[in-house]
Amino acid sequence: MAALKYAGLDDTDSEEELPPGWEERTTKDGWVYYANHLEERTQWDHPKSGKRKRVAGDLPYGWEQETDANGQVYFVDHINKRTTYLDPRLAFTVDDNPAKPNAKQKYDGSTTAMEILQGRDMSGKVIIVTGANSGIGFETAKSLALHGAHVILACRNMLRANEAVQRILEEWHKAKAEAMTLDLASLQSVRDFADTFKSKNLPLHVLICNAAVFGLPWQLTEDGLESTFQVNHLGHFYLVQLLKDVLCHSVPARVVMVSSESHRFTEINDSSGKLDFNMLSPSKKDYWAMLAYNRSKLCNILLSNELNRRLSPHGVISNAVHPGNMMYSSIHRNWWIYTLLFTLARPFTKSM
């Protein structure tokens, strides 16, 4: 095959020759897929054998992987001064054909973000992750950036946010990751973040509302609202409203609300069954940290459902996700009792 010869791989014992019009390609993380140029579609399975493959080993000495303006992976041979879209490791692929589980069995409590994104090319996607300097937010931002996405880490603490960006760049120096200031406890900060992001004239394909606080003592924000409610919900609510137009112009797009199963253990109705909005930002005498957290997570669910109802007809989908019970991260740092509980549960739960 001409392409194999061009890449210096014409001496191959491969018996799986592709039909006319087909091309073998690889993703950034080494998974092989097949492009049908006649029908303008791609698929993971080999068009003849039905097998799935991945490349084995590192790139040969002198080779480097790049991405073009269309998000397509190509390879540079610095020694012979040439480029090719054919992965030089394709002569050394291994089969990957595990038994196909059903949807409920595909992922479990030990599945990592990198495994979820395996084989996916996120090049060209712009993604905002709030609270991305540690914990779930950092693992999410890192995994997306390592799969080609342009990820914005929206964080209150810029020192820690920039350190997180550097950790991502240490894993892949060409990752597109940047930090921007966002303090959800300040509605002015939310406005400033949205204005700064819009000034970049970037699309927005995914907004992941991940940042949260837990176990805080009662305190009011500069806007006069209870902190847990504003940080976990209202700040994100406002952020979505300010960026909604960008999402709609970037379809298909998505909003992801990181909520919790704890939303089931509360309500926002009074004794007569009517909505009591005073429960959302209670006074100090009516405040209990756990209930405040649960109510904020319930609001996340309600917001996600309503967003999906309003925006999905326009190409913007909204989902809410439960990241796992008692997952050990830094969210419990504000109260030693919760830190103790999370520490005791850590051997039995998923951690970063």
Catalytic residue numbers read 293
- Report yes or no: 156 and 132 within 8 Å, Cβ to Cβ: no
Q: Can you tell me whether residue 11 is helix, strand or coil?
A: coil
Q: What whole-number distance in Å separates Cα of residue 219 and Cα of residue 230?
A: 11
DSSP annotation of 58 reads P
Q: What whole-number distance in Å separates Cα of residue 152 and Cα of residue 180?
A: 7
- Report yes or no: 263 and 305 within 8 Å, Cβ to Cβ: no
Q: Hunting for tokens 């500069």 — which residue is that?
A: 222
Find the helix or strand (DSSP H, E) in which 241 lies: helix 235-248
Question: Nearest CA to 225 among 234, 217, 216?
Answer: 234
Helices (H) and strands (E) in the chain, counts: 10, 14
Q: What whole-number distance in Å separates Cα of residue 152 and Cα of residue 61?
A: 33
Q: Please, which residues have CB within 8 angstroms of residue 186's CB and are 6 or more apart in sequence?
A: 221, 222, 223
Among left, alpha and beta (phi > 0; psi -120 to 50; other), residue 119 is left
